[in-house]
Structure 1
Amino acid sequence: MKSQFLLDKSITFLNHGSFGACPKPIFEEFQRFQLELETEPVQFIQKKQIGYLKAARESLAKYIGCEAPDLYFTPNPTFAINTIMRSIDLQVGDEILTTNHEYGAMDRTWNFYCKKSGAKYIRQKISLPIISKEKILEEFWKGFTSKTKVIFLNQISSATALIFPVKEICDKAQELGLITIIDGAHVPGHINLSIQELNPDYYTGTLHKWMLAPKGSSFLYVKKEFQNDLDPLVVSWGYESIAPGESQFLDYHENQGTRDVSAFICTPAVINFLEKNNWKQKSSECKQIVLNNYQRFCDLLGTQPICPITNEFLGQMASIPVKTDKPQELKDVLYDKYNIQIPVMPLNGNVYIRYSINAYNSQEDLDVLYAALEDIIATTDLIKT
């Protein structure tokens, strides 16, 4: 599959999780739409765009298990979460219960809105190593109080690459009458997703990561009873529209002035590529490579796994604890000297090297990383073992 991607072949690319990678056929479709837009922008924006977006929503909804009128496209999950936060009417003393494994941009966004509203952002500690799903749930709900209003949770964490028991948390949150907001940035195309089964109030995910779409393609799902309460992040022609469309929800959030929606409307081509290339099987093979190598890297680095080495907690990426005081320097050395693109990420006082495996990767890529780390350990003081 490596020949299907545009990635620099001189780089060992083990960082699909950050921004994804787009195959040539999908990128060509993306450029085709951009050319169509530039060839006749008025006709495209005023006439064709609405139909293209509807077709894209319908194909995506079928893929992620929800109804097409209940979602719209956003550039990224941060945009989606900002939209939600502006509309949930946080009051002084309200609490948002989350974990200490959330994405840094989300932590910052919640902190911004909590400072504005007087609400509190509760980063409940989930201990490492993970012992079991039941232990995660026990620790998480210790953060619940009578003031908890919102549950916010990433389904797959960024720095620690762990899969969280979102279904169980959503079920209990519903019983308690809490608002549930799920950040599924790493989920679509990575692990099985049925939004209908999870039953969150809000769910955001990316297409440009594991679904292989062009950069800047994500979505926000909103349960029907919350849709008319969701204010647009950008007020434009869709507000009090003179030509109302399918719903106020879509008018407010799809019709936001001049912008290039080419990445969004590639979605049917994206899903076609995944189905044509038997991506579920390829994903399964990638997950096995992730599992096969986890303990090997822990042994090399003198650290312990942060979870049971199973598909219950790990997908196509894994984070290996590494003892270093210089995470940025280690990342730079891996890239500048060894041509390896891989994140080295601090979180909660620990540091992790996170490798991602997709269909363009092979065992040889991880062998290159292993040899580089061996050399760094032998020749520098960047890693302590």
Structure 2
Amino acid sequence: MSAPPPPEPIPGARLLFSLDPAVSHLNHGAFGAVPIGVQRAQQRLRDEMEANPVRFFSRGLTDRIAHARRHLAAFLDADPEGTALVGNTTAGVAVVIQSLGLRPGDEVVSTDHGYGAVALSIARECRRAGATSRVLSVPLTAPDAEVVRILRAGLRPGRTRLLVVDQVSSPTARHLPVAAITAAAREQGVPVLVDAAHVPGMLPVSVREVAADFWVGNLHKWAYAPRGTAVLVVAGPWRERTEPLVVSWEQESGFPARLEWQATLDYTSWLAAPVGLFTLRSLGAQRVRAHNAALAAYGQHVVGDALGVAPTALPDPGGPAAAMRVVPLPDGVATTFDAARALRNRIADRLATEVSVAAWNGRGWLRICGQVYNTPAEYERLAAHLPALLAQR
């Protein structure tokens, strides 16, 4: 089976970004890339802030934040009254975990596809409360029905206080059936937190239809917002129980203002985030998604072929719409966190290519992304040089 053809480029899209042209940026899923127009919009807001800080912070800023929030919530089909802006997905997860009121004997259940910092957050709060963190193993290519069965069987009603699942996982690019998982957990009275860090912008989504108790996603990855922009969506029964990590002047205003107002933060990323959505819509959201998914699939096949991975052995856990793909590395390569990080840095330094490398389930995995600023030649260049670099280990 030959590689799928690369998509036609979107004219002018590369010029929207200020990325270093000497580097192949194949890891958009890590920190995103902010379009120049969005950078300028945020800088104008910073100029306004620095021209009169007292006026900026004390006259109407909470209303401006609420306006931005409503705009972002509409994009995600989320209830704006149940949506709070937060700095990133990890921060949103920490808010939820620490608002649960865990006690000895309680447990938080997650999967082995979870993000490392989220796992650390769960572990810390469980340690503080005398609760337990339990991780369920989900095969990379398990059918959706099997995933739901595994997670349903792994819950213990009365003891499991929260199930944490990724909508699209970071280390494995696995797309989990979160709506079905949420429904199954609800049957057992277990609330669900969906880590949707990679969803806004990459996939069309209706947070209302997912119907999770908590849903948190970044807009600074695939929705072109400035970094530090994420939303935490909380179901009605939980809103008054969801507390900020730091108490500030809007504490008595209730949810969501008490989460959003954190004194002298730089709120310009949130205020400029709607410009990122305008950029996405101007390019054509569906067009961008289709382009990015097709380019990631092309890159996966090209790199996989160079490493001797049969096309049938290339996993497709995210489905055809995913703009992130993984390639299994040779046996013994990058099988630990430290080795994966070292390999990522070697690829960056020697091949001038930014990728993600993760150690998962006893194996090293290379993750590549597709974005409108990428070209097929960048994946082909990685494929041409990566085998020799790996042979030098």
What TM-score do you get using the length of structure 1 for normalisation? 0.92
Are positions 1:355 and 2:368 aligned together? yes
Q: How does 1:3-152 map to 2 (within 5 A)?
A: 3-128=15-140, 130-146=141-157, 147-152=159-164
Q: Which of 346, 358, 380 is 1:345 aligned to? A: 358
Aligned AA for 1:349? G
SS at match of 1:181: strand
Q: Deviations along 1:207-234, whole A, 9 cap, x unmatched?
A: 1101111111111111122111112211
- Determine the structure 2 residue equivalent to 1:375: 388
Secondary structure of the 1:89 match is coil
Q: Who is 1:277 aligned against? A: 283
Q: SS where residue 110 of structure 2 aligns? A: strand
1:312 corresponds in structure 2 to 319
Q: Which residue of 2 aligns with 1:299?
A: 305
Q: Within the alignment, does 1:215 sit opposite 2:245 as a pair? A: no
The verdict on how the C-alpha distance between 1:196 and 1:307 changes in structure 2, with shifts beyond 3 A counting, is: farther
Question: 1-side partners of 2:121 and 2:325: how far apart?
Answer: 26
Identity of aligned residues (%): 27
Q: Select the residue among 315, 323, 328 that pairs with 1:321.
A: 328
CA deviation vs aligned residue, 1:290-345 (integer Å, no higher than 9, x gap):
22343443333244667753763760011111021543343222111211111211
User: Which stretch shifts more, 13-22 or 94-103?
Assistant: 94-103
Aligned to 1:333: 346
Aligned length: 373
Asked if 1:251 corresponds to 2:264, the answer is: no
Name the CA distance, whole Å, in 1 between partners of 2:73 and 2:241: 21
Secondary structure of the residue that 1:86 maps to in structure 2? helix
SS at match of 2:63: helix
Q: Secondary structure at the match of 1:137?
A: helix
Counterpart residue number, 2:198: 186
CA contact (8 A) 2:109 2:160 kept: yes
- Give ranges in structure 2 of 5+ residues lacking alignment: 1-12
Q: Secondary structure of the residue that 1:172 maps to in structure 2? A: helix
C-alpha distance in structure 1 between counterparts of 2:113 and 2:294, whole Å: 24
Aligned-partner SS, 2:303: helix
Deviations 1:47-86 (A, max 9, x none): 1312211210111111001121211111111111111112
Alpha carbons of structure 1 residues 131 and 182: separation in structure 2 relative to 1, 3 Å: closer
- SS where residue 355 of structure 1 aligns? strand
Point out the more displaced range, 50-59 or 183-192.
50-59
Tell me whether 1:168 sits opposite 2:156 in the alignment.
no
Partners of 2:108 and 2:134 within 8 A in 1: yes
C-alpha distance in 1 between matches for 2:242 and 2:103: 17
Q: Relative to structure 1, is the Cα distance of residues 10 and 41 closer, same or farther in structure 2, using a 3 angstrom cutoff?
A: same
Aligned equivalents of 1:95 and 1:47: distance in 2?
44
* Matched letter for residue 364 of structure 2: V
Checking the alignment, whether the CA contact within 8 Å between 1:163 and 1:314 is kept in structure 2 is no
Question: Deviations along 1:235-273, whole A, 9 cap, x unmatched?
Answer: 111123xxx5xxx11332122211110000112212111
| Match in the other structure for 2:249 | 237
Asked if the contact 1:83–1:230 (Cα under 8 Å) also holds between the matched residues in 2, the reply is: yes
Q: Where do 5+ consecutive residues of structure 1 fail to align?
A: none
Question: Are the structure 2 counterparts of residues 344 and 310 from structure 1 closer, same or farther at C-alpha, using a change threshold of 3 Å?
Answer: closer
Distance 1:268 1:38 in 2: 21
What TM-score, normalized by structure 2, do the two folds share?
A: 0.90
Per-residue deviation, 1:153: 0.7
Partner of 2:239: 227
Contact 1:161-1:314 within 8 A present in 2 as well? no
Q: Which amino acid aligns with 2:257?
A: D
Quote the offset at 1:194 in angstroms. Answer: 0.6
2:269 is aligned with 1:266: no
Distance 1:336 1:168, change over 3 A: same
Asked if the contact 1:162/1:313 (under 8 Å) is kept, the reply is no
Q: Distance in 1 between matches of 2:121 and 2:283?
A: 37
Tell me, yes or no, if structure 1 residue 366 matches structure 2 residue 372.
no
Residue type of the alignment partner of 1:364 = A
Give SS of 2:216's match: strand
| Greater mean deviation of Cα atoms: 134-143 or 359-368 | 134-143
Cα deviation code 1:13-62 (max 9, x no counterpart): 10100000000001100111111111111111111312211210111111
Q: Separation in 2 of the partners of 1:332 and 1:260?
A: 30
Q: Which amino acid aligns with 1:361?
A: N
Residues 276, 62 of structure 1: CA spacing in aligned structure 2 closer, same or farther, 3 A cutoff? same
Q: 2:294 aligns with which of 288, 306, 321?
A: 288
Matched position secondary structure for 1:214: coil
How many Å apart are 1:95 and its aligned residue?
2.0
* Residues 280 and 288 in structure 2, CA contact (< 8 A), matched pair in contact too: no
| Structure 2 CA distance for partners of 1:252 and 1:306, relative to 1, 3 Å | farther
Shift of 1:347: 2.0
Counterparts of 1:183 and 1:189 in 2: how far apart (Å)?
Answer: 15
CA contact (8 A) 2:226 2:273 kept: no
Distance 1:268 1:329, change over 3 A: closer
CA 1:142 to 1:204, structure 2 compared with 1: closer, same or farther past 3 Å? same
Deviations 1:147-166 (A, max 9, x none): 22211111111111111111
